[in-house]
Chain A
Amino acid sequence: MEETLPRMASTCASADAPDAPDDLVQRAIRGDVTAFETLYRLHVGHVYGLSLRLSGDTHSAEECTQETFVRAWQCLGRFRGEAAFGSWLYRIAVNVMLNRYRREVRRTLLLVSTDTEEMERVPGGNAPLGLALDLEQAILELPLAARMVFVLHEIEGYGHPEIASLMHCATGTSKAHLHRARRRLQARLRS
């Protein structure tokens, strides 16, 4: 019987990085690049960590991290200030990654057309540097969809309805991906 994994954090909470002082954010909104660089230094670890887990390779994670911060700069005028800046930034990172995921799915469907297993193929790429935990390596070896659901649900604290909405799938599909991910991870750790 599978054990229910505890949530590590509330949705979109940036547990490791301290949130940015309000004056930093306001200065960045007014066009202060130095202030925005400080915001980058504060939050890059969290954004990159998420991107790495979701994408499975360092190159994609770096691209996604860059795209996240560039988009954040462009959309700073829309930051209203009720949620923490880190949460807002994190949301952008998730959307960037999911856009890439959806593009990958569409591309795979165009190339292969009917084989749904292709959507779950393990992408090639370099293993992240410096990761010693079996879990991290096992997550990277998960199929794409299962990996995304596992990371968003078990590590980032998203609920299935929200994941389903982000990934354009049914809630049941999200749950099935999570079940598959847990089964594979447990088998991997068992060996």
Chain B
Amino acid sequence: MTRTPDETGSRLVEAVQAAPRSQVPGRDLWPEIAGQLTPRKTGWTRSQPLIAAAVACLAIGVWLVTSWQLSPEPPGILGRRPATRVQSMRPESPSMALIERALHDPALPPSERAVLVSNYRILDHAQGAIDHLLARHPDAPGLGGIVVQLELARARFLSVVEETQLQSNPRILP
């Protein structure tokens, strides 16, 4: 039996409308999917080794400087003065505001909060040690390099804090 074009078109419309949107697979695909899932790492878990390495290098550098026997040198021989204390970790800075927000984020798991606090304390202690050195031996050789390393560690720390905040706060889907 042949249908007219109108009847065929209507039948096609009806069939499309009736077509189910979903269909369960013939077998459970989850075991194979689960086998391909790599552990999801949060910002802290992923970056903690890098921060720890940076802070360790910093701590070694501070120890080396403080253990040197410094003798007075005529002005000008040492060349550039080391960098002075950086502003970004002062209490009123935007970076501190970011860290405070992260610390008080209710979505932040306690384990990650503990890591954040621990790393911040290490950086703060290192900053204090460098401040002390700068005050007592502003021309110490190598101190400028240590200050740079501290800045790199701090920048990395703030980057991770920001990334963690972005992950825990919904945004517009691109």
Check A110 for interface membership: any CB of B closer than 8 A: no
Stretch at the interface among B59-67, B122-130, B151-159, B164-172: B164-172
Quote the shortest CB–CB distance from A26 to chain B (angstroms): 7
User: Which of A16, A62, A186 contacts B20 (CB under 8 A)?
Assistant: A16
Contact size range, B? 35 or more
A44 within 8 A of B: yes
What is the interface residue range for chain A against chain B?
A: 35 or more
Name the prevailing secondary structure of the A interface residues. helix
- Chain A: CB-nearest residue to B4: A190
Minimum CB–CB distance from A32 to chain B (whole Å) comes to 9
The segment out of B26-34, B71-79, B83-91, B135-143 that lies at the interface is B26-34
Say whether, besides A58-B26, A70-B37, A133 and B19 are in contact (CB < 8 Å): yes
Asked if A31 meets B39 with Cβ closer than 8 Å, knowing A37-B30, A49-B20, A69-B33, the reply is yes
Q: Which of A37, A83, A190 contacts B8 (CB 8 A)?
A: A190
Q: Do B173 and A83 have beta carbons less than 8 Å apart?
A: yes
Determine which of B9, B12, B22, B172 lies in contact with A135 in the assembled complex, contact meaning CB atoms within 8 Å: B12
Residue from B9, B12, B37 whose CB has the most chain A CB atoms within 10 Å: B12
Q: Name the A residues within 8 Å of B9 (CB-CB).
A: 2-3, 186
